[in-house]
Structure 1
Amino acid sequence: MQIGPLRFDEPLFLWLLAALAPLYALWVRQAVRRRRAVRQYLATRTVPVRERLGRGGDLWFWLLVLAAATTTAIALARPVTVARVVRTAGADVVLLIDGSASMRVTDVPPDRWRRAIRFVRTFAETLSWREDRVALGLFAHYAAPQLRLTKDPNALFFFLDHLGEAPPFRLEVDTTWDTNLETGLYWGLRLLEKNEELYGPSANGKAFVVLTDGQTWSGNVRDSIESALARGVSTYVIGVGTLGGGQIPEPEWPYGVVPIWAEGDPIYSVLDRSSLQEVALAARGRYFEIDRESDREIALRIIQEVRGRSARGLQEQTVDLYWYFLMAGAVALGLALAVTREQVQRWWQVAGVVAALAALIAVT
């Protein structure tokens, strides 16, 4: 860490130091006079033992009071400095979870959706949450953004707790039976853009993590991938499901009436591995598959790669220093209390404490 020059946010209070300067001069004058008087006293007085007189006497009390007043005046001027620290690598990750009908298939226990949510929990537990930020979005035919980029793990776990059993897209609605990754990626970009509008550009590495089975694609995925790459966002795809697949459960239709769009044989869903691999390759990411590696290993590899693309360098931080000066003043008053002997000086001590408290209230 590199410390920059000292500056004051309230420099007018520094004029108080000018008022204290004559008091320091008076103290020096009194110290010289006392030293001279002690020498004359010892030269004219004859005693059978050698006398030792304190060099400062009660003047030390007043010097400590002046020191406390000086540090308090500096604290009122709000001293600050700029510290340059090496920025640690961070990651901005948008989690995009497929919530279409095929995610209810039970070929991975307990089903694809809940297995995906379990992975997201592990992913969140793997993050440091210092420089890392996470956003959350769901998609089927339409997208449903859930959470903007945040460093608060409690916010993410709140949504996961409420989404843990089933996706919010109902099976009775025909749009649930479609997987529109283009819309999911589009809204992922919107989450990143909104964060930049609110908080400015981030030097963190950026990535989408898509959890899907790849069943029944729609939309022009390549356009969204190119838009993401233009913004420096890579896409990691995690396949959820098996090549053996399973049957998508039928919804309970109201009054037993099946709409025209849902007529026909039950739909059998399998993991579309080849399509997902193509998406990951085109998006300059990687393809992973649930249960082929542990969730922790997948999460670590993704996080490390995304952090590796973050911009590192010196980051400036403003550091308030007035607390240190107030602490120095408190120490000076404490030492003054230790050397004082007279009751009047103790009252001065109380007045100094009151003044220090008033200064503390003024700067906070």
Structure 2
Amino acid sequence: MKFGAPGFLPLLVVPGVLLLLWVWQVWRRRADVQAFVQRRRVPVKERIPFFGELLFWLFLLFAATSAILAVARPVAVTSLVRTAGVDLVILQDGSASMHVQDVRGNRWRRSMRFLRTLGESLRWDDDRVAMALFAHMATPQIRLTKDPNTYFFFLDHLEDTSPFRLEDDGTWDTNTERGIYWGLRLIEKDEEIRRNTPGHNQAESDNSRAFILISDGQSWSGEVAKSLALAQEKNVPLNVIGVGTTVGGLIPDPKREPNQPMLRSVLNRAELSRLATVGGGRYFELDRETDRDIANAIIEQTRRRAGSKGLQEGTQDLYWNFLLAAAGFLALGVLFLRDRVALALQLSAAAAVFVWVTSVF
């Protein structure tokens, strides 16, 4: 235990001296009781309390000691196991199939709701997030940051619709290989910035990294295999989150001719699971588990890979604990008072102290 104001600790000498005086008073009382019993003759055995009202003064000394310790601002020193932060790189599918309305809103909006829950589940002290969107091409949105305002600012502007327009031909392709490639570029850019920044935060360099791919699926190709191999070299597992249903729905096409059939998109669960397995991560599916469970599972899995960063010393303020103990000792002492006048004085003093404490604090 440490004290923020140790200058008050010498005051403990006063209750210490008074405690010795209290012991002497107990000894005198016992001597007087024995002398009284020897002189007094009664037909029945008389029981005289061992301490009598001296117990009130003992508890009053305890209360004074607790009050002095409280004024000295005691703090308890605690040791906590400090875990490393996590770097999560979000790879969000923004292709035309994300406009399918087989989930509430559509697949894109459903993904944004999950990403908001993911942000709420992070600690944001050493945890960082980056984001890249992809269709035929990939566009990085957020570099690795531990600023939650930046993250939620982008979500606010992306929650309604994908920035890839349905009128553009590139939107009608899902190029997961480009998404993973740009995710690796975000990590490499962060490493470059930290190397060139004097006095960079060492805690961030110890973070464990992981990709979070949110998509409705695509045919797995050799190009994706190459990107996954690069991710494995950097020890960055790929967690995949499927969005959509196996029933699927029609993709809205503003350029469709009247006689042209509409395209249907379904959740390609098998290919997404395969991506997660080869990428060294896990496969999740929105609405099959709660968003909070998925977010916590990914964060905890990534954090476990980082291991422990040793013990972190913390403190806990004990001021109110000792003040409460002083009040408790005083209340216990009042129970041993038999003199009504003394009891009334004690209750009046306690009420005055209560009014003073509430007015000051």
Does the TM-score normalized on the shorter chain lie above 0.5? yes
Q: Name the residue aligned to 2:210.
A: 207
Q: Name the residue aligned to 1:331.
A: 328
SS in 1 for 2:335: helix
1: CA distance, partners of 2:218 / 2:90: 16
Distance 1:176-1:95 versus aligned 2 partners, 3 A rule: same
Q: Name the residue aligned to 1:351.
A: 349
Distance 1:335-1:246 versus aligned 2 partners, 3 A rule: closer
Distance 1:224-1:56 versus aligned 2 partners, 3 A rule: same
Contact 2:80–2:312 (CA under 8 A) maintained in structure 1? yes
Structure 1, unpaired ranges of 5+: 1-5, 253-264
Say whether 1:45 aligns with 2:50.
no
Give the RMSD, CA atoms, in angstroms: 5.8
Contact 2:132–2:140 (CA under 8 A) maintained in structure 1? yes
Task: Map residues 27-106 of structure 1 onto 2, 5 A cutoff.
Answer: 27-84=22-79, 93-99=88-94, 101-106=95-100
Q: Name the residue aligned to 1:3.
A: none
Say whether 1:9 aligns with 2:4.
yes
Contact 1:8–1:77 (CA under 8 A) maintained in structure 2? yes
Among all aligned residue pairs of Structure 1 and Structure 2, give the percentage whose two residues are the same amino acid. Answer: 33
> How many residue pairs end up in the alignment?
333
Q: Structure 1 residue 65: deviation in Å? A: 0.8
Contact 1:104–1:111 (CA under 8 A) maintained in structure 2? yes
Structure 2, unpaired ranges of 5+: none
Deviations 1:330-352 (A, max 9, x none): 22111122122342354245435
Distance 1:328-1:50 versus aligned 2 partners, 3 A rule: same
Q: Structure 1 residue 236: deviation in Å? A: 2.4
Contact 2:213–2:238 (CA under 8 A) maintained in structure 1? yes
SS in 1 for 2:20: helix
Task: Map residues 214-229 of structure 1 onto 2, 5 A cutoff.
Answer: none
Distance 1:113-1:189 versus aligned 2 partners, 3 A rule: farther
Contact 1:103–1:111 (CA under 8 A) maintained in structure 2? no
Distance 1:44-1:305 versus aligned 2 partners, 3 A rule: closer
SS in 2 for 1:81: strand
1: CA distance, partners of 2:297 / 2:359: 49
2: CA distance, partners of 1:23 / 1:344: 20
Of the structure 1 ranges 183-192 and 73-82, higher mean CA displacement relative to structure 2 is found in 183-192
Task: Map residues 1-364 of structure 1 onto 2, 5 A cutoff.
Answer: 6-84=1-79, 93-99=88-94, 101-106=95-100, 111-114=106-109, 116-117=111-112, 135=129, 137-140=131-134, 141-145=138-142, 165-168=160-163, 170=165, 181=179, 182-187=181-186, 200-201=203-204, 205-212=208-215, 230=234, 233-238=236-241, 249-250=253-254, 284-286=279-281, 288=283, 294=288, 299=294, 302=298, 305-312=301-308, 316-340=313-337, 341-351=339-349
SS in 1 for 2:237: strand
SS in 1 for 2:131: strand
Contact 1:16–1:73 (CA under 8 A) maintained in structure 2? yes
Distance 1:173-1:24 versus aligned 2 partners, 3 A rule: farther
SS in 2 for 1:19: helix
Q: TM-score, normalised by structure 1?
A: 0.62
Contact 2:125–2:146 (CA under 8 A) maintained in structure 1? no
Of the structure 1 ranges 197-206 and 29-38, higher mean CA displacement relative to structure 2 is found in 197-206
Q: Structure 1 residue 96: deviation in Å? A: 3.3
Q: Structure 1 residue 191: deviation in Å? A: 8.9
